[in-house]
């Protein structure tokens, strides 16, 4: 099992040295990967129809994952850089292919692209992409991404994309792993069909049932469990007993990655305790505590 850490993007602040210190501390402590969340825009929740379902608002800052990982690729050496997740359907596919390839090249093959459909329809609207078609668009994007990473010249005509004899250079030296995130049966089924792994946002009973469904769907698709990644995220403030309980329960569903999150943002919606951290140093101390306990 590989240990990971969620970059506390809403709370780490804007000092590049603090962000560097967090990433380097995680690497020095033996973490296998960093995980970063994505939102281009935050939106006010009041008086929306339909309502916005997620925990983040216009008051929550998010560092841009591709730009940030370009920076962190230069100041780390071994740790995997993963998105958990990029809201892929609201982004241009060929541009994502280019950005992901660049990070993978600059990091020496240390990038993992986690993708999902998201929940913020206001953000989709601002980026000029229909929210209602996000699931179908995502599936087509995954196919096109893999072709752009592996083929010199691509001709592709789909429902949402047209590429006429064009290619990406520089290409990555491999097809970058594409993991999915999600909290629904359709997301799990999609990941089992076309993904390389799936990140679950919490270790609660609902997510565990989805993880069992994932195993069933992998078997139905004729895919091997051992080659498919399965990750869940535990809340630092839940404490060591809860971390070990989650680890034990998730082993039965093929857990390969266990990540720790220590952000206050979103804990109320998730029904989790609040770490209450107010400084980057506290986040680094949490990395130390979790690593010592779980190794």
| Predicted confidence (pLDDT) per residue in 140-171, tens digit | 999 999 999 999 999 999 999 999 999 999 99
Contacts of 278 (CB under 8 A, 6+ apart): none
The confidence score (pLDDT) of residue 270 equals 85
Cα end-to-end distance, the chain, whole Å: 10
How far apart CA 197 and CA 227 sit, in angstroms, is 9
Residue segments in the chain with a per-residue pLDDT below the cut of 70:
none
Residue 264 CB-density burial (10 A; 0-12 exposed, 13-18 middle, 19+ buried): middle
Per-residue b or e along 67-77, where b marks 16 or more CB atoms closer than 10 Å to that residue's CB:
ebbbebbeebe
Nearest to 200 by CA among 108, 85, 295, 106: 85
Residue 71, token pair as written in the block: 């920076």
The confidence score (pLDDT) of residue 86 equals 98
How far apart CA 123 and CA 110 sit, in angstroms, is 29
The confidence score (pLDDT) of residue 29 equals 98
The confidence score (pLDDT) of residue 73 equals 98
The number of beta carbons lying within 10 Å of the beta carbon of residue 227 is 10
Long-range own/partner contacts, residues 239-246 (CB < 8 A, 24 or more apart): 240/293, 243/290, 243/293, 243/294, 244/294, 246/203
DSSP three-state, residue 229: strand
Domain 2-294 annotated CATH 3.20.20.30: yes
Judge contact between 22 and 231, C-beta under 8 A.
no
Whether this prediction's pTM lies above 0.85 is answered by: yes
Residue 211, token pair as written in the block: 């993880």
Residue 246, token pair as written in the block: 């989650």
Judge contact between 135 and 186, C-beta under 8 A.
yes
The confidence score (pLDDT) of residue 269 equals 85
């Amino acid at each position: 099992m590989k240990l990971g850490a969620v970059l506390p993007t809403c709370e780490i602040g804007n000092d590049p040295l603090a962000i560097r210190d967090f990433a380097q501390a995680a690497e020095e402590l033996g973490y296998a990967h960093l995980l970063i969340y994505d939102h281009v825009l935050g939106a006010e929740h009041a008086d929306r129809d339909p309502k916005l379902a997620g925990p983040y608002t216009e008051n929550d800052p998010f560092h841009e994952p591709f730009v940030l990982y370009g920076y962190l690729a230069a100041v780390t050496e071994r740790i995997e850089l993963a998105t958990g997740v990029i809201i892929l359907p609201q982004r241009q596919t060929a541009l994502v292919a280019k950005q992901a390839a660049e990070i993978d090249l600059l990091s020496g093959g240390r990038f993992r692209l986690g993708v999902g459909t998201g929940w913020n329809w206001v953000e989709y609207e601002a980026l000029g992409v229909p929210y209602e078609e996000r699931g179908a668009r995502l599936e087509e994007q995954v196919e096109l991404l893999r072709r752009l990473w592996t083929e010199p010249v691509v001709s592709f005509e789909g429902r949402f994309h047209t590429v006429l004899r064009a290619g990406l250079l520089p290409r990555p030296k491999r097809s970058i792993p594409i993991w999915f995130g999600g909290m629904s049966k359709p997301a799990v089924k999609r990941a089992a069909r076309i993904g390389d792994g799936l990140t679950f946002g919490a270790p609660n009973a609902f997510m565990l049932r989805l993880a069992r469904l994932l195993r069933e769907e992998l078997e139905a698709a004729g895919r091997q469990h051992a080659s498919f990644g399965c990750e869940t995220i535990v809340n630092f403030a839940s404490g060591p007993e809860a971390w070990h309980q989650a680890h034990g329960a998730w082993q039965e569903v093929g857990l390969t990655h266990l990540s720790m999150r220590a952000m206050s943002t979103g804990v109320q919606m998730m029904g989790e305790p609040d770490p209450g951290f107010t400084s980057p140093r506290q986040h680094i101390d949490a990395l130390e505590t979790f690593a010592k306990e779980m190794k």
